[in-house]
Amino acid sequence: MTKKRSLPWEPNESASRIVVQVGRRDGAAPRPFGFPVRVLGIDPGSAATGFGVVEGTANRMRLVECGVIRPTRGADLADRLLEIHDGIAAVIDRSTPNCLAVEGVFYGENARTAVILAHARGVALLAGAGRGLAVAEYPPAEIKKAIVGTGRATKEQVAWMVQKLLGLSEPPRPSDAADGCAAAICHILIGTGPLAKQAERAMP
């Protein structure tokens, strides 16, 4: 029988509420959401699941909070997945996002790693759906392209751009938290999920 454990996550204390202006790198004005949204971005993993809550439009956004959910090391996979699910659900209850943006599985990984990551991604989707959130998924390369301008960007480049876009004094740490923020920013910038379609219909 699965035993429910405590849910340790690591909130990033540097997640300040600074508001910044965001523009496209080609100088053109980005096409914003019709209204501000609060997005919970998730970088799923069985050992560490990064998350970032970002609020705003494509022109104006701020970091609400970010951190990492770390399930109990050495626990059975089912128990770790339960902790990840409950940890994400707790973040949703605390930060009340409008939608969930999840980084998809990179299939260049070996088969076993890809399967385990798919499990973690599945519980993230379940946590969002269970709370009635609209859910969007983005391939890693699409997130990198939205944030940095190239799908081949390194983790360091993504973290640096997240820092700049959110006006932080340093990149969110650890890197899993920065990746969670990147997923949320990606959804706000390119908005291909259900909430984006709703916003587009509301625009004059």
Q: Which residues are catalytic?
A: 43, 103, 176
Which pTM does this prediction carry?
Answer: 0.79
Q: What is the pLDDT of residue 1?
A: 44
Q: What is the pLDDT of residue 34?
A: 52
Structural domain containing residue 17? 9-202
Find, among 42, 49, 40, the residue nearest to 132 by Cα: 40
What does the alpha-carbon distance between residue 19 and residue 47 come to, in Å, rounded to a whole number? 32
Per-residue pLDDT 10s for the chain (204 aa) are: 444 443 333 444 333 322 222 333 333 333 444 568 999 999 999 999 999 999 988 888 899 999 999 999 999 999 999 999 999 999 999 999 999 999 987 666 677 888 889 999 999 999 999 999 999 999 999 999 999 999 999 999 999 999 999 999 999 999 999 999 999 999 999 875 444 555 445 444
In a domain, 76, yes or no: yes
Q: Tell how far CA 45 is from the center of its chain.
A: 12
In a domain, 2, yes or no: no
In a domain, 3, yes or no: no
> How much of the chain is helix, strand and coil, in % rounded to 5?
40, 20, 40
CATH code at 145? 3.30.420.10
In a domain, 1, yes or no: no
Q: What is the pLDDT of residue 102?
A: 96
Residue 78, SS3 per DSSP:
helix
Q: What is the pLDDT of residue 47?
A: 94
- How many domains, the chain? 1
In a domain, 114, yes or no: yes
- Residue 37: CA count within 13 A, CB half-sphere: 30
In a domain, 29, yes or no: yes
In a domain, 65, yes or no: yes
Q: What is the pLDDT of residue 178?
A: 97
Give the DSSP letter string of 19-38: -EE---TTSSPP---SS-EE
Q: What is the pLDDT of residue 127?
A: 97
